[in-house]
Each structure stands twice: as structure tokens, then as C-alpha cells.
């Protein structure tokens, strides 16, 4: 029995890579220094994995930016616009990579970056490969060979990791019409063969090839592509042992294909799909074939300690069927998606020991893998018994801990009825009653946050370090809010916001005030490139001990006679951007959060807030990978939102906001959320997205963003007016709102003032035009 790991976080336990890359980009670090930092991170990670008891250690999981981008470079899939940089490559090889990832505006060049999108159902974003019809591939970048040699030299028993050719092709985009990127396999495979040949020559023995696409719905042709690939590679390289890894879900209908592949080891994600093990062991012929199984029993997507008893049941079942020699033990997927090291959490106030004892980060997870092997292979040993006992005690304690389990919260969720998810009247009736808000045609508003200047962030940092008293902090933030209200009145917005100056992050802010949430000091996870997030940990039953935003909203409302929107984060987004409990179904936790937000919504209404926005930017992210599970998720997510939103009178106007542009497949569910107004991102796609809304005849009010806040560029009044006119082709005038794409937190005040002033002028011009009778 072997232990192995699929991938380790590359940011460094203290985000060394982030800091070094950013310094390099800012020009305050040389390429050689950055390389040095990277080498040190790799070396530390390899040693740490070996010390944790890994028999086989992954290499080439390190990346300066992203593993899919690395694969573009390995295979020479470099879009034409970057070719001028290739000649310059000698001087700084890293610059080509960073240019592709982040764009390049230097030496007379203005090259746009490649697109970025989410990696399966994770919060990790990868660089999307660009493919042309006549796409050629050639071995370009030596990284995998270099890193294999680096590890070999340092004495590690390593296993190079590659993104498989089929998943690589599927992860990309066709930049021209008239071809199917899967057909590029023919051109691509020779490059993979060259890579394997080189690795073989350097003495590699095991090669991990990731084909996570096996967790998706694959058509016949793609399944055939997988078969072809692995038949060719296995035949060509009889000495290399291919470990084929898929994760994030079951093989589902691809199981037969997966089992037919002539690979040495098949890795299974048994956290997401434990039953798959039975299917495989029951497949006629499997028991007697030679394929090894890598059992991914330790959760690579969450931060909880493994339940050894559960994992051992699976391991034992496999051992009984095929014997321990054909079994490997591993985390379920790469550990890229969890923080590095729980040992660094030493601040009892941030993360109490009582909660920490239930958790495991990457380093701890590898020790669990090693412990599972120890217990499975030598159950009688005193050490094994001790490991198992300790673990059982911990699991038992968690089941009954009073800090986790609150009967009142459980009872309340159990008592949710259909009526809790219904507004009193239907939208047309509500719309009529909401006329009392006195809003003009094409009401103007913003999405919530205003520029979080250095100054504002400093106040919060000082306050957290207790260098600023509660009273002083409050006073400063109130002052900022007061100015923001006054400014909004001056530029003549119709629906105001308080500006969110008191918030660090739209999830963390609520998590900090809800019971059942814990935080870490150093629990960073790579989101993309140098960007990391620190998700809250939901450990216990969630409830709202006291109002969270009412004072801020009421204060802001007291300063003006115009309506000020209450501003909340929705239950699905809070759930999606946190590490969630694994001891109860996700939807129960989500419903607990929904009730907590509902309490806040009704309290805002009581405090005289007439418009309340519940942001759900993450609703689409939670969509399961497999089609057959998607509807159940959407039904639940819609209901959770509606529970949060439905405790109010008809007169109270509920808004929601989402910032992404793929709605086509979920538009029905978006409509079912039944928010009175939805604001969405559309300006980049030139309102294309509205097709979905028009086709479906979306029934409620819509505010398609006319100002792209992700760019420092200030749009003109004419541009925005044109976008609005375009929107009028899709949305009736009486249901059209005017607003930016998203919150303005990352923008500066000056550009914000210019852009919003122009936006308001555009709305006014449109009102005038609509109200002016056409001359006979």
C-alpha cells in the first residue's frame, strides 16, 4: 500500500509566492529572486510532504500563476498576440507567462490578458486556453522536466503531475468558428509523448495525469478521445506507470470508459462519491485485473479532520476485494483548495482550540493519509490503536458539542413551511403598492459599496489592533457614510446606499456577527494568480444573536428623505464562500443562514428601510457539475433566497444583485427568486446577456449594469445612453433600472463621481426622450 498526494498549495505557508510575485510585478524584485523564492517553496513543500509520510510526492504542481496556463506553455499553445514576447524570452522567461495571465503594457506593447474562469466547482480561477482552427502545438516550456530533476537532485521520490490532454482541450475556448477543440487532440498528443519521453529518460517512474473532465457529462467522441489518449500513451511508454486522476465528482456514465483505460492506477474521489467504490469493485473482471486504485478518502475541498472510521470502511472494503498491494491512499483531490498549515493558527481568540481540534489543513491532511495507511496495514499495533482512538474521540465530541448544536436553531429550520418562502402578494400587486416610493421612470441607483480608500481600510486595521477606540472608529465611519449620502443627493441618484464603509468583505462581515462561524489568521487559499481568499469556517448551527446592519442603515436613512437601500449578503453566497460543515447536509446550513438573514430583513423593515438588497453573486457557483443534480440545487437555492426575502410587507421592495453573465441555463430559477428588482452585469457583453431575459420574458424589474466597474475607464454619457436604449429593446421602460455593473469598492472617488454623474445624465436624457411625443 502506498500513500501519495495529488498536489500541494503553492502559495507558501505564509503566502511567500504572493508577496514575491507582487514585488516582481512592481519592479522591486528581480526574476532571479522570484525564482529563488519559488525554489524554496517547492523544497519546503516536498520536505514537508515527505515528513508527513507521503511515499510519493507530486512535482510540477507548483506554478507561478496557474497549472492550465503552464500547460499552454508546455504545449506551445501561445496566442499570436504574445509572439513578439517570445523572441524577448531569453531575457525574462517569466514575462511571457505573466503577460498571458495579466496582460502586458510596456515597451510600446498593449497586449490584453487571457480570459479567466472558474475551475470546475471550486473558487479557483484558471487561465482559459485559446485555440484556433489550425492550432499547432509544440513542446515549448521545460518546467515539468526541470522540476522533476530538481526534486530528484534533492532526493525526493517524486511523481510529475500533468493536466491531461483531453481536460486541457476542454478547459479552453475555440476562438474561431468551424471546429471542435477535441479534434485538436491529434496535434496535441505528440507533445505529450515528447514530454513523457523526456521524463522517462530522466528516470521518472510514476506520472500523474489529471483528467477531471471525467467528472463531467462527456459525449461519445470525447470518451473515445480519452480512450485513444491512454491507449497510445500506455503502449508507447511501457515503463512509465500512469496514475490517472479524476476528482470533484463520480465518473457517472464515464465509469466504463475510465475502467477500460490501460493505466497503472485510477484515482477516485471517494469524498464526493463514496459509492463509486462499490460500482468499481462489482464491475465484472475488475477484481482480477491489475489496475491499482488510489482511494481519495481525505477531503481536499474542506478543512475538517477526517473521520477515520468512515475512511477505513472504504479502505477495508477495497482491501478485501483486491488486496492491499493494489491500493493507494490519498486526499480526494489536489490540496490546492485548502489552506496550508493549521499549526500556524495560534491565536486562541481568532480560532479557539475547541474548534481547531476538529480541523485539518493541507499538512495535517497528509498526516491523516499516512495514519490511515498505518491503521489499515497494521491494525493490531499499539500506535494504530492510539491513532484510531484519538480520532474517534474527536469525532464523538463533535457530534454532541454544545458549541455546535443549538436545538432551537434546528427546530426552527425543521419548522420552515412553504409559506415562509412566499411574499404576501404577487409581483404586479407589489409593484403597484411600491409606487408609494415615488421613484421616477428609469430609477438610478448603485450596487452598494463606495470606494474603500486606504484611509477607510486604515481605520479598520487600527481599530482591530485596538489603536482606535470603538467610539472613534464609529465616528469616522459614520462621517464617511454621511458624506456619501450628501454626495449621492448632490449628484441626484434616486435610490441611495450607505456605502459599506464598515465592511471588510461581504461575507466575512456577516460571518463575524453570526453565531456558528469561526475565522482563521492564515487560512489562505489561492483564488487566482497571486490573489488569495480566507474563507470563514461554518462550524456550528447558525443564528443571528443581534441585528447586524440595522444601525448603519437607519443612520444613513436618517440623513435623507430619499430611500436608502438596506444591504445584505444572501444565504447562498455566504454558504458558497465559506468552508461549510460536513456533519450535516449543505442545505440545512444554508437554511439556517437564510433564517438569520430573514431576521435582519424584517428588522430593517421595522427600522423604516423601504428597499432591501440581498446580494447573491455566488448563486451560480454552487451549481453541481452533473446535470442530474442541478435542478435540486437550484430549487433549494431559490427557496433559501425566498425564505430570506419573504418576511416583509408588499410595500417593501426587495432587490438582488448578481455579477456574472451566464444566465441562459438558469434564468428560470433567477426569475423564481421573485426579487422585485435584479441588478446584473451586462456592460462588457454589450447587453447580450439580456437575450436570456427577453427570451424568457423575465417578469420583474431589471437593472442591467451600464458602467463596467472592473475597469478604471470612465464611460461617457452617450455610451451609457446607447446601452440603455439597447436594453429598452428587451425590457419595457417601466421595468428598467439604471445602475453600474457591481459595487464601487475598488474604484477611486474621482472616476466614480464622473461615471455616475454621466450615468444619471444618461437616465435623464432617456426619460426626456420617452416622454417627448413624437411629432406628427
Tell me which residues in 8-67 interact with ligand GLN (CB under 6 A). none
Tell me which residues in 460-499 interact with ligand GLN (CB under 6 A). none
Contact 559, 610 (CB under 8 A): no
Q: From the list Zn ion, ligand GLN, none, which binds 272 (C-beta under 5 to 8 Å, kind-based)?
A: none
CB of 165 or CB of 715, closer to Zn ion: 715
* Interface segment toward ligand GLN; rule CB under 6 A; list 11-19, 282-290, 694-702, 741-749: 741-749
CA separation for the pair 627, 649 (Å, rounded)? 36
* Interface segment toward Zn ion; rule CB under 5 A; list 46-54, 205-213, 658-666, 723-731: 658-666
- Nearest Cα residue to 203 out of 164, 180, 237: 237
In the complex, least distance from residue 277 CB atom to ligand GLN, rounded to whole angstroms? 39
Contact 562, 512 (CB under 8 A): no
CB of 511 or CB of 743, closer to ligand GLN: 743
In the complex, least distance from residue 486 CB atom to ligand GLN, rounded to whole angstroms? 19
Q: From the list ligand GLN, Zn ion, none, which binds 448 (C-beta under 5 to 8 Å, kind-based)?
A: ligand GLN
In the complex, least distance from residue 460 CB atom to Zn ion, rounded to whole angstroms? 21
600: contact with ligand GLN by CB under 6 A? no
CB of 299 or CB of 615, closer to ligand GLN: 615
Q: From the list ligand GLN, Zn ion, none, which binds 689 (C-beta under 5 to 8 Å, kind-based)?
A: none
CA separation for the pair 491, 291 (Å, rounded)? 69
In the complex, least distance from residue 604 CB atom to Zn ion, rounded to whole angstroms? 20
Question: Helices 627-645 & 586-606, crossing angle to 10 degrees?
Answer: 30
Exactly one of 615, 674, 676, 741 binds ligand GLN (CB under 6 A); that residue is 615
Give the residues across from 58 on adjacent strands: 159
Contact 261, 241 (CB under 8 A): no
Cα dihedral value 491, 497, 498, 504, nearest 10: -120
Give yes or no: 710 in active site: yes
CA separation for the pair 497, 485 (Å, rounded)? 7
Q: What is the largest CA-CA distance in the chain?
A: 97
Exactly one of 85, 493, 538, 659 binds Zn ion (CB under 5 A); that residue is 659
In the complex, least distance from residue 34 CB atom to Zn ion, rounded to whole angstroms? 33
506: contact with ligand GLN by CB under 6 A? yes
CA separation for the pair 2, 207 (Å, rounded)? 15
Q: From the list ligand GLN, Zn ion, none, which binds 745 (C-beta under 5 to 8 Å, kind-based)?
A: ligand GLN
Residue 675 DSSP code: -
If DSSP codes are grouped into helix, strand and coil, which group holds residue 533?
Answer: strand
Tell me which residues in 181-240 interact with ligand GLN (CB under 6 A). none
Size of the site for ligand GLN (CB under 6 A): 13
Q: From the list Zn ion, ligand GLN, none, which binds 567 (C-beta under 5 to 8 Å, kind-based)?
A: ligand GLN
Give the residues across from 298 on adjacent strands: 331
520: contact with ligand GLN by CB under 6 A? no
Contact 746, 711 (CB under 8 A): no
Contact 639, 421 (CB under 8 A): yes
Q: From the list Zn ion, ligand GLN, none, which binds 506 (C-beta under 5 to 8 Å, kind-based)?
A: ligand GLN
CB of 211 or CB of 500, closer to ligand GLN: 500
742: contact with Zn ion by CB under 5 A? yes
* Interface segment toward ligand GLN; rule CB under 6 A; list 6-14, 147-155, 639-647, 737-745: 737-745
743: contact with ligand GLN by CB under 6 A? yes
Contact 681, 660 (CB under 8 A): yes
CB of 388 or CB of 658, closer to Zn ion: 658
- Nearest Cα residue to 69 out of 11, 127, 131: 127
∠ CA 549-551-555, nearest 5°, is: 120
In the complex, least distance from residue 16 CB atom to ligand GLN, rounded to whole angstroms? 28
In the complex, least distance from residue 447 CB atom to ligand GLN, rounded to whole angstroms? 4
CB of 617 or CB of 622, closer to ligand GLN: 617
Who's near 137: CB < 8 A, 6+ residues apart? 75, 76, 77, 184, 187, 188, 190, 191
506: contact with Zn ion by CB under 5 A? no
Contact 602, 643 (CB under 8 A): no
C-beta nearest to Zn ion: residue: 659
Exactly one of 68, 514, 637, 659 binds ligand GLN (CB under 6 A); that residue is 659
Size of the site for Zn ion (CB under 5 A): 3
CA separation for the pair 623, 620 (Å, rounded)? 6
Look at phi and psi of residue 68 and say left if phi exceeds 0, alpha if psi is from -120 to 50, else beta: alpha
Look at phi and psi of residue 526 and say left if phi exceeds 0, alpha if psi is from -120 to 50, else beta: beta
- Cα distances (angstroms) measured from residue 656 to each of 295, 448, 613, 677: 42, 11, 5, 6
Contact 31, 345 (CB under 8 A): no
CA separation for the pair 532, 518 (Å, rounded)? 18
Exactly one of 170, 268, 721, 742 binds ligand GLN (CB under 6 A); that residue is 742
Tell me which residues in 429-448 interact with ligand GLN (CB under 6 A). 447-448
Residue 285 DSSP code: T
In the complex, least distance from residue 284 CB atom to ligand GLN, rounded to whole angstroms? 51
CB of 566 or CB of 617, closer to Zn ion: 617
In the complex, least distance from residue 608 CB atom to ligand GLN, rounded to whole angstroms? 20
336: contact with ligand GLN by CB under 6 A? no
Q: How many CB atoms are closer than 10 A to CB 775?
A: 4
Active-site position among 83, 292, 655, 710: 710
CB of 301 or CB of 503, closer to ligand GLN: 503
CB of 46 or CB of 641, closer to Zn ion: 641
Q: How many CB atoms are closer than 10 A to CB 182?
A: 18
567: contact with ligand GLN by CB under 6 A? yes
Contact 661, 452 (CB under 8 A): no
In the complex, least distance from residue 743 CB atom to Zn ion, rounded to whole angstroms? 6
CB of 449 or CB of 578, closer to ligand GLN: 449
- Cα distances (angstroms) measured from residue 498 to each of 276, 481, 482: 51, 6, 8
Give the residues across from 571 on adjacent strands: none
If DSSP codes are grouped into helix, strand and coil, which group holds residue 569?
Answer: strand
What does DSSP say about strands 265-269 and 206-210: parallel, antiparallel, or unpaired?
Answer: unpaired
CB of 272 or CB of 498, closer to Zn ion: 498
CB of 506 or CB of 678, closer to ligand GLN: 506
745: contact with ligand GLN by CB under 6 A? yes
Tell me which residues in 173-192 interact with ligand GLN (CB under 6 A). none
Query: Residue 760: in which H helix or E strand, if any?
Result: helix 749-771
Who's near 278: CB < 8 A, 6+ residues apart? 317
Query: Residue 718: in which H helix or E strand, if any?
Result: helix 717-728
689: contact with Zn ion by CB under 5 A? no
CB of 204 or CB of 572, closer to Zn ion: 572
Buried b / exposed e along 586-597 (16+ C-beta atoms within 10 A): bbebbbbbbbbb
In the complex, least distance from residue 37 CB atom to ligand GLN, rounded to whole angstroms? 31
In the complex, least distance from residue 617 CB atom to Zn ion, rounded to whole angstroms? 5
C-beta nearest to ligand GLN: residue: 743
In the complex, least distance from residue 506 CB atom to ligand GLN, rounded to whole angstroms? 5
* Interface segment toward Zn ion; rule CB under 5 A; list 248-256, 386-394, 480-488, 652-660: 652-660
Burial of 533 (0-12, 13-18, 19+ CB in 10 A): middle
617: contact with ligand GLN by CB under 6 A? yes
User: Which residues bind to ligand GLN, rule: CB under 6 A?
Assistant: 447-449, 500, 506, 567, 615, 617, 657, 659, 742-743, 745
Known catalytic residues? Answer: 710
User: Which residues bind to Zn ion, rule: CB under 5 A?
Assistant: 617, 659, 742
Amino acid at each position: 500500500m502506498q500513500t501519495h498526494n495529488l498536489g500541494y498549495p503553492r502559495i507558501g505557508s505564509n503566502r511567500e509566492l504572493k508577496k514575491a510575485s507582487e514585488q516582481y510585478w512592481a519592479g522591486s524584485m528581480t526574476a532571479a529572486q522570484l525564482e529563488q523564492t519559488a525554489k524554496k517553496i517547492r523544497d519546503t513543500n516536498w520536505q514537508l510532504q515527505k515528513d508527513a509520510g507521503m511515499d510519493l510526492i507530486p512535482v510540477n504542481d507548483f506554478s507561478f500563476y496557474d497549472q492550465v496556463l503552464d500547460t499552454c506553455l508546455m504545449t506551445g499553445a501561445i496566442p499570436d498576440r504574445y509572439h513578439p514576447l517570445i523572441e524577448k524570452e531569453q531575457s525574462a522567461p517569466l514575462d511571457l507567462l505573466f503577460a498571458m495571465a495579466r496582460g502586458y503594457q510596456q515597451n510600446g506593447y498593449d497586449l490584453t490578458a487571457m480570459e479567466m474562469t472558474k475551475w470546475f466547482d471550486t473558487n479557483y480561477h484558471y487561465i482559459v486556453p485559446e485555440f484556433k482552427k489550425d492550432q499547432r502545438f509544440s513542446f515549448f516550456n521545460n518546467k515539468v522536466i526541470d522540476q522533476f530533476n530538481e526534486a530528484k537532485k534533492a532526493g525526493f521520490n517524486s511523481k510529475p503531475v500533468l493536466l491531461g490532454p483531453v481536460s486541457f482541450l476542454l478547459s479552453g475556448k475555440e476562438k474561431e468558428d468551424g471546429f471542435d477543440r477535441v479534434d485538436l487532440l491529434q496535434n496535441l498528443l505528440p507533445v505529450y509523448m515528447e514530454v513523457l519521453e523526456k521524463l522517462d529518460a530522466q528516470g521518472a517512474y510514476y506520472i500523474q495525469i489529471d483528467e477531471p473532465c471525467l467528472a463531467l457529462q462527456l459525449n461519445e467522441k470525447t470518451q473515445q478521445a480519452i480512450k485513444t489518449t491512454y491507449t497510445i500513451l500506455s503502449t508507447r511508454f511501457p515503463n512509465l506507470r500512469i496514475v490517472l486522476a479524476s476528482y470533484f465528482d463520480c465518473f457517472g456514465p464515464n465509469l466504463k470508459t475510465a475502467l477500460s483505460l490501460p493505466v497503472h492506477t485510477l484515482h477516485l474521489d471517494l469524498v464526493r462519491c463514496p459509492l463509486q467504490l462499490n460500482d468499481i469493485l462489482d464491475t465484472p473482471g475488475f477484481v482480477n485485473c491489475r489496475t491499482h486504485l488510489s482511494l481519495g478518502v481525505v477531503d481536499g475541498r474542506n478543512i475538517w479532520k477526517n473521520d477515520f472510521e468512515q475512511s477505513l470502511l472504504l479502505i477495508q472494503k477495497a482491501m478485501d476485494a483486491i488486496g492491499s498491494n493494489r491500493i493507494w491512499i490519498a486526499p480526494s483531490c489536489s490540496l490546492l483548495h485548502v489552506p496550508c498549515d493549521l499549526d500556524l493558527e495560534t491565536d486562541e481568540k481568532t480560532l479557539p482550540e475547541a474548534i481547531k481540534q476538529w480541523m485539518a489543513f493541507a499538512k495535517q491532511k497528509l498526516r491523516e493519509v499516512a495514519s490511515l495507511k498505518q491503521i489499515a496495514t497494521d491494525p493490531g499495533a499499539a500506535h494504530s490503536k492510539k491513532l484510531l482512538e484519538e480520532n474517534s474521540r474527536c469525532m464523538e465530541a463533535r457530534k454532541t458539542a454544545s458549541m455546535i448544536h443549538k436545538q432551537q436553531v434546528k427546530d426552527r429550520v425543521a419548522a420552515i413551511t412553504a409559506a415562509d418562502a412566499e411574499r404576501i402578494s404577487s409581483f404586479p400587486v407589489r409593484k403597484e403598492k411600491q409606487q408609494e416610493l415615488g421613484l421616477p421612470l428609469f430609477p438610478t441607483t448603485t450596487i452598494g459599496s463606495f470606494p474603500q480608500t486606504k484611509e477607510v481600510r486604515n481605520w479598520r486595521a487600527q481599530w482591530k489592533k485596538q489603536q482606535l477606540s470603538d467610539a472613534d472608529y464609529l465616528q469616522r465611519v459614520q462621517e464617511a457614510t454621511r458624506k456619501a449620502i450628501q454626495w449621492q443627493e448632490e449628484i441626484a441618484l434616486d435610490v441611495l446606499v450607505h456605502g459599506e464603509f464598515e465592511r471588510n468583505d461581504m461575507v466575512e462581515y456577516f460571518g463575524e456577527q453570526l453565531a456558528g462561524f469561526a475565522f482563521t489568521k492564515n487560512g489562505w487559499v489561492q483564488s487566482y494568480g497571486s490573489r488569495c481568499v480566507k474563507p470563514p469556517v461554518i462550524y456550528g448551527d447558525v443564528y443571528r444573536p443581534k441585528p447586524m446592519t440595522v444601525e448603519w442603515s437607519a443612520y444613513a436613512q436618517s440623513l435623507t428623505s430619499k430611500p436608502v437601500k438596506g444591504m445584505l449578503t444572501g444565504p447562498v453566497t455566504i454558504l458558497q464562500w465559506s468552508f461549510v460543515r460536513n456533519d450535516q447536509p449543505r442545505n440545512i446550513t444554508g437554511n439556517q443562514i437564510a433564517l438569520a438573514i430573514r431576521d435582519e430583513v424584517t428588522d430593517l423593515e421595522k427600522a423604516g428601510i423601504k428597499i432591501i438588497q440581498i446580494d447573491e453573486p455566488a448563486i451560480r457557483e454552487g451549481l453541481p457539475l452533473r446535470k442530474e443534480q442541478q435542478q435540486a440545487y437550484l430549487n433549494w437555492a431559490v427557496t433559501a433566497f425566498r425564505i430570506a426575502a419573504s418576511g416583509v410587507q408588499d410595500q417593501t421592495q426587495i432587490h438582488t444583485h448578481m455579477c456574472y453573465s451566464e444566465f441562459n441555463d438558469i434564468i428560470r430559477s433567477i426569475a423564481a427568486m421573485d426579487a422585485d428588482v435584479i441588478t446584473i452585469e451586462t456592460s462588457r457583453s454589450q447587453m447580450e446577456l439580456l437575450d436570456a431575459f427577453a427570451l424568457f420574458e423575465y417578469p420583474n424589474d431589471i437593472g442591467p449594469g451600464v458602467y463596467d466597474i472592473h475597469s478604471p475607464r470612465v464611460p461617457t454619457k452617450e455610451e451609457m445612453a446607447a446601452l440603455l436604449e439597447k436594453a429598452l429593446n428587451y425590457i419595457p421602460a417601466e421595468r428598467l433600472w439604471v445602475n453600474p455593473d457591481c459595487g464601487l469598492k475598488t474604484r477611486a472617488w474621482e472616476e466614480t463621481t464622473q461615471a455616475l454623474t454621466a450615468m444619471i445624465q444618461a437616465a435623464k436624457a432617456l426619460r426626456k426622450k420617452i416622454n417627448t411625443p413624437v411629432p406628427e
